[in-house]
Structure 1
């Protein structure tokens, strides 16, 4: 611990009393009305400044660290001078230390290695909340549409947007970055909103991996696979939040009621929850919007005879989902006639029907990154909206291909 600096005149007074008391620290402390440890600290500082006779200069590269009085008089201990205080960069943590040791076993130098550390959920929420400020007041001015059909609900599916992912056309076939992703998603959703019916209820459903990475490090949080990233993490969060607000606001202009569910994926476990909490805070005074803040990896909702479910798809197999649905919500299962589960993760269109349940996955609006391109994946890109009737189940579907 660094010693609190003491003025030279106080140091000189302490030294004078110390010498007058026969180099006895306790007597010096009693005379000054101080603790013995305080006197010892003062004498150490005096020795560093050459105020303590006999003058014993510290060796080059060393500093006086301790004075001790004994039968042989005062002894002075020295050690290598301390360097400047090392400050860990913001958002980093120490990863390791490399040392250079000379043949005699002495430390001659060291290198402290840091890397950007994991970011906590509270920090993520605060950063997303900051992104909401520019949208304040807009949603409240959106009027409910006239003549909606309360027997219809439309689900706008947003699977695997991977905002913050970088792709280079010469390497992957298509360019993709934060700005391109925002433009593509908004343009595609705009086409969907113009083609869907005026359902009484609109559902804004993100199937996970809204963000490409979940912190300042461009890696997957579990496997720590290195990712091709575009943009700093707070910037990606801001764009993701802005896109969702834009989507919900457009849904408010089209539908009487809007339900929002942001599911986590393997790329955005924490960020998905943070975006969901931020949207709940943003729309907290809007009676027409319900943000489902459930932090689980599953979404369940029954609309008349249709029982809907959704999950990202990285932790459960498609063929296992019908049994999970039945076990999770037995009352909704029993009260429904049409059962559908929506998933993402695999970035291509696939569907199975098992036990009377249709489980399907969706194409991603994102371009391929370098890894998927090198692995030969060639799935199409699109966004979809599905409309369900309260009595008859699915009645229409709109799809916008992305080229």
Structure 2
């Protein structure tokens, strides 16, 4: 085995091979590949991390001792303390945020290799726009990549293909219902991707029911967003996309946002907000709108958090609202300072575990139309009518 064997993408494989052929000289490899030295370092670091998890390093190859499907989680050293007592010292290395960001960027680079920035052709038919309204489509926890079997859940079947079809149908309907406003806001409140990577687990490591490889899930998710944004641009002048990180997809949410930022890097009508961090805020006239997944800060506390985050904007607006997800059903509260916190439902049905625990709600997607003077002017709700909810037997 060699380091090249642990490359995850063709871009990584090519970069590491050239780097090896150049005697591991980063600048020389960068010159041959016509990329920056930092990009070479990022690819090499990502591959080294993958190799280390499999038990391989430059001076030690224990990969033959690691069974297929398993990975190295640490190292044990037999040593002794200052008093001569024998002991095993167990260590485990965790990835830093900077290393995780670099690994994500390397993964995204591999996905978009050879792809050119996208230039939408869609344009609004109308020439009269209402600048006082802001249609806001809120995507609840979509869980692209989840597998659910109707025989187990007593709900609908669900997989990546179905998730995409459901969202496309919902977006198509909601945009058609929206007023002809200048701007449109597309908000993903988190957990759009079911798993946080190729391991098929959440960010915390919980094992999940997944239906396909993470590369396929991200590609399908990106294509679905392309449809959504194109549809929005056929009705509105501009589109702003907010991509919140959830407890399932803390890293893959960033990867998806970076893919979209690349796609629309030459399209001034589309703005993809920076996906880093866990809170996102926007102001529209007298409205202060905030987005959070809802897993890290409970709803009641979010109300007191917003005036601390943006005291000046809090003082100059009269309608403040948090858009959150996580609980998979519609719920809204108003706290003492007047701030509203609304949790939004999702189009996805429950998976096996949630169905077995009694969870489940209507499959919906909401569009709120904010008025510039403050508050909600119109609301549209798209709902999937589920035909499977019947008894197992009628006698």
TM-score when normalising by structure 1: 0.69
Q: Partners in 1 of 2:137 and 2:194 — Cα distance?
A: 20
Deviation at 1:134, TM superposition (A): 9.3
Where does residue 402 of structure 1 map in the other structure?
384
**Deviations for 1:323-353, whole angstroms, at most 9, x for unmatched residues?**
1111001111011011111100000111101
Q: Partners in 2 of 1:189 and 1:248 — Cα distance?
A: 9
Where does residue 121 of structure 2 map in the other structure?
141
Q: Partners in 1 of 2:106 and 2:62 — Cα distance?
A: 33
* Structure 1 residue 232 corresponds to structure 2 residue 210: no
Q: Which has the higher strand share?
A: 1
Partner of residue 258 from structure 2, selected from 263, 277, 295: 277
* Structure possessing the higher radius of gyration over alpha carbons: 1
Q: Contact 2:201/2:208 (CA < 8 Å) preserved in 1?
A: yes
The structure-2 alpha-carbon separation of the partners of 1:85 and 1:93, relative to structure 1 and needing over 3 Å to count, comes to: closer
Q: Partners in 1 of 2:384 and 2:105 — Cα distance?
A: 31
Deviation at 1:86, TM superposition (A): 3.4
* Structure 1 residue 376 corresponds to structure 2 residue 358: yes
Q: Partners in 2 of 1:304 and 1:177 — Cα distance?
A: 40
Q: Contact 1:210/1:272 (CA < 8 Å) preserved in 2?
A: yes
Where does residue 326 of structure 2 map in the other structure?
345
- CA RMSD for the aligned pairs? 2.7
| Gapped regions of structure 1 (runs ≥ 5) | 1-82, 98-116
Q: Contact 1:132/1:241 (CA < 8 Å) preserved in 2?
A: no
Q: Partners in 2 of 1:387 and 1:277 — Cα distance?
A: 27
Superposition pairs of residues 2-401 of structure 1, within 5 angstroms = 86=64, 93-94=71-72, 120-128=100-108, 136=116, 139-145=119-125, 146-173=127-154, 174-222=156-204, 224-354=205-335, 355-401=337-383
Q: Contact 2:118/2:263 (CA < 8 Å) preserved in 1?
A: no
Q: Contact 2:118/2:266 (CA < 8 Å) preserved in 1?
A: no
Q: Contact 1:121/1:274 (CA < 8 Å) preserved in 2?
A: no
**Deviations for 1:85-134, whole angstroms, at most 9, x for unmatched residues?**
8397999633599xxxxxxxxxxxxxxxxxxx999544544544565579
Q: Contact 1:318/1:359 (CA < 8 Å) preserved in 2?
A: yes
**Deviations for 1:278-307, whole angstroms, at most 9, x for unmatched residues?**
212221211111111141111111100111
Q: Contact 1:352/1:360 (CA < 8 Å) preserved in 2?
A: yes
3-state SS in 1 of match to 2:190 = coil
**Deviations for 1:216-244, whole angstroms, at most 9, x for unmatched residues?**
1112221x222111101111111111112
3-state SS in 2 of match to 1:312 = coil
Q: Partners in 2 of 1:361 and 1:296 — Cα distance?
A: 19
Q: Partners in 1 of 2:358 and 2:309 — Cα distance?
A: 37
**Deviations for 1:147-173, whole angstroms, at most 9, x for unmatched residues?**
121111111111100011000010012
Q: Contact 1:121/1:271 (CA < 8 Å) preserved in 2?
A: no
The structure-2 alpha-carbon separation of the partners of 1:350 and 1:134, relative to structure 1 and needing over 3 Å to count, comes to: farther
Where does residue 9 of structure 1 map in the other structure?
none
